[in-house]
Amino acid sequence: MILLYNPQSSANKKPVIPMALLALGAVLESVYEYQIVDGNLVTDPVGSMSQMIRSKKVDILGVTVMGGQQLENAIPVCRALRILFPELTIVWGGYFPTQHYDVCLQSSYVDYVVRGHGEYPFIELITALRNGRDVITNPIEGVACREPVSCTVISSNVAQVPQTEELPWFPYHRIDMSRYLRKTYLGRRTLSHHSSYGCPFYCNFCAVVNMVNGRWKAQSAKRTADTVQHLVSQYGADSIEFFDNNFFVNERRTAEFSDRVAVLDINWWGEARIDTMMKYSDSTWQKMQKSGLKMVFLGAESGSDETLQRMNKGGKASIEKTLELAARMKTYGIIPEYSFVMGNPPEPKKDIEDTIRFIRKVKRVNPATEIIMYMYTPVPLSGELFDQAKASGFAFPETLEEWISPQWKDFAQRRSHNLPWIKDPLRRQVHNFERVLNAYYPTTTDTRLQGWMRKALQLAGSLGYHLNYYDYPLELKALQRLIHYQRPETSGF
């Protein structure tokens, strides 16, 4: 028996379909018996899984791990299960282990790491373990492990991106789908789907690059629409979040999908690139509008073309296109959700000031634009930004326990207070601007903000915003205790 564990992914245990584990389950379905445990839905994962391990004779535990909250949960859970069940084989996969497999395997409670997309490497690893195959002398692509005598970490290449159209449908019957329906700004019964893997671009601050190396594989428009139809008819979904790294790569696919779902009366959200969306025809934009597309998450990243070049944004990314797209989306009533990576080396102060000025320009062009700000946090990827970060004294933690220390907890959320090139005056400048901006332009993603709350926030933030003065917004700190307003909440994160 195999257990698949989805660690708690947010402080409030927001229930989001564990699609990484459903993808694994889809290829395991007809071969091996397995069960999914979602840490967002159980109060005592160690107790729950311990009972299953004993009663169902579980020999392999697969864990999907993102940095941040999931890592913080996965470490103590796996550590406790290793103590209780020394013979249990524990396999980690996902974004964090793909990038930091060596650190994971130095712990005593991770036996194998699947790097990259794990559907086929994981099932091959299970078969090898069950048949007694030595994966040291007969390695599996995408699998890293420790040599048992010297404890040397051995890794093969990152697993290839599978052909998503050929993968089996998610086995939704393996989870209680009713528990994943939730109210969002998109609708009252929102569910999620993953219709493509990867991204064809090489932005050097993005963890996806290490996972896919510029590959993008997508389900057909028909299959994607059929899945949405299934979620609507079987579970009553009225809105869909697409967690694809880049849903909109192929315009023809997007247009066909929009045509197919227009009759379903749903709302939907996805991620895209600005230069890609600027190439879309007016006809496709009209189809997306008719199909219920309400918001698109887009990496604007910076208010400086020079910084965009250093980020290796590629294509024809520019701040001019960012403004043009904001204006274009306004005509269709589709909200741009722009993310910005602040404080990039080598001149973080200039980068922050340029980007704050630019955000104000974006808001003049399209006031409905949602703004999400992150601090630049390196990923282990060769390039100018990472090299400059290392030159500033940056280094990743060398143990899993250090990764979940207070110093590093905010790092995965791109909110770190401990980056060598960002000291407190700069960090505080970004935080205060964000507080004023989100008061004057309250986010549409917070469904609690209605009527008088929105007006009170706008009034409180208006003076600082119009004066271009953000220091010491004490009145907003006080108001936040009453209204609890927040920055825009990205659907996929």
- β-pair partners for 301: 340
Q: What percent of the chain has pLDDT over 70?
A: 95
- Give the pLDDT confidence score for residue 414 in this predicted structure: 60
- Give the pLDDT confidence score for residue 491 in this predicted structure: 47
The three state secondary structure string of the chain is CEEEEECCCCCCCCCCCCHHHHHHHHHHCCCCCEEEEECCCCCCHHHHHHHHHHHHCCCEEEEECCCCHHHHHHHHHHHHHHHHCCCCEEEEECHHHHHCHHHHHCCCCCCEEECECCHHHHHHHHHHHHHCCCCCCCCCCCEEEECCCCCCEEECCCECCCCHHHCCCCCHHHCCHHHHCECCCCCCCEEEECCEEECCCCCCCCCHHHHHCCCEEECCHHHHHHHHHHHHHHHCCCEEEECCCCCCCCHHHHHHHHHHHHHHCCEEEEEECHHHHHHCCHHHHHHHHHHCEEEEEEEEECCCHHHHHHCCCCCCCCHHHHHHHHHHHHHHCCEEEEEEEECCCCCHHHHHHHHHHHHHHHHHHCCCCEEEEEECCCCCCCCHHHHHHHHCCCCCCCCHHHHCCCCCCCHHHCCCCCCCCCCHHHHHHHHHHHHHHHHHCCCCCCCCCCCHHHHHHHHHHHHHHHHCCCCCCHHHHHHHHHHCCCCCCCCCC
pLDDT-based confidence at residue 178 (cuts at 50, 70, 90)? very high
446-464 pLDDT tens trace: 877 778 888 888 888 898 8
Q: What percent of the chain has pLDDT over 90?
A: 66
Q: Which amino acid appears at position 300 of this protein?
A: A
Q: What is the mean pLDDT of the chain?
A: 90
- Give the pLDDT confidence score for residue 315 in this predicted structure: 63
218-259 pLDDT tens trace: 999 999 999 999 999 999 999 999 999 999 999 999 999 999
- Lowest-pLDDT choice from 237-246, 250-259, 289-298, 336-345: 336-345
* Triad 298, 422, 210: Cα angle to 5°: 50
What's the mean pLDDT in 66-80? 95
CA 211/CA 214 separation, integer angstroms: 9
User: Tokens representing 171?
Assistant: 């086995």
Say if residue 427's pLDDT is above 90. Answer: no
User: Tokens representing 399?
Assistant: 């143990």
CA 148/CA 189 separation, integer angstroms: 49
Say if residue 302's pLDDT is above 60. Answer: yes
- Give the pLDDT confidence score for residue 323 in this predicted structure: 97
10 versus 28: the higher-pLDDT residue is 28
CA 479/CA 453 separation, integer angstroms: 10
pLDDT-based confidence at residue 98 (cuts at 50, 70, 90)? very high
Q: Which amino acid appears at position 207 of this protein?
A: A
Superfamily of domain 181-422, CATH level 4: Aldolase class I (3.20.20.70)
The pTM of this model reads 0.91
Say if residue 412's pLDDT is above 70. Answer: no
Say if residue 332's pLDDT is above 80. Answer: yes
131 versus 377: the higher-pLDDT residue is 131
Q: Where are the domains of the chain?
A: 2-155, 181-422
- Give the pLDDT confidence score for residue 137 in this predicted structure: 87
459 versus 167: the higher-pLDDT residue is 167
265-281 pLDDT tens trace: 999 999 999 999 999 99
- Give the pLDDT confidence score for residue 492 in this predicted structure: 42
370-395 pLDDT tens trace: 999 988 888 776 567 777 777 777 88
Nearest of 373, 280, 378, 371 to residue 332 by alpha carbon: 280
Does domain 2-155 fall under CATH 3.40.50.2300? My reply is: yes
CA 114/CA 144 separation, integer angstroms: 6
Phi-psi sector, 213: left (phi>0), alpha (psi -120 to 50), beta: left
What's the mean pLDDT in 93-120? 95
- Give the pLDDT confidence score for residue 477 in this predicted structure: 72
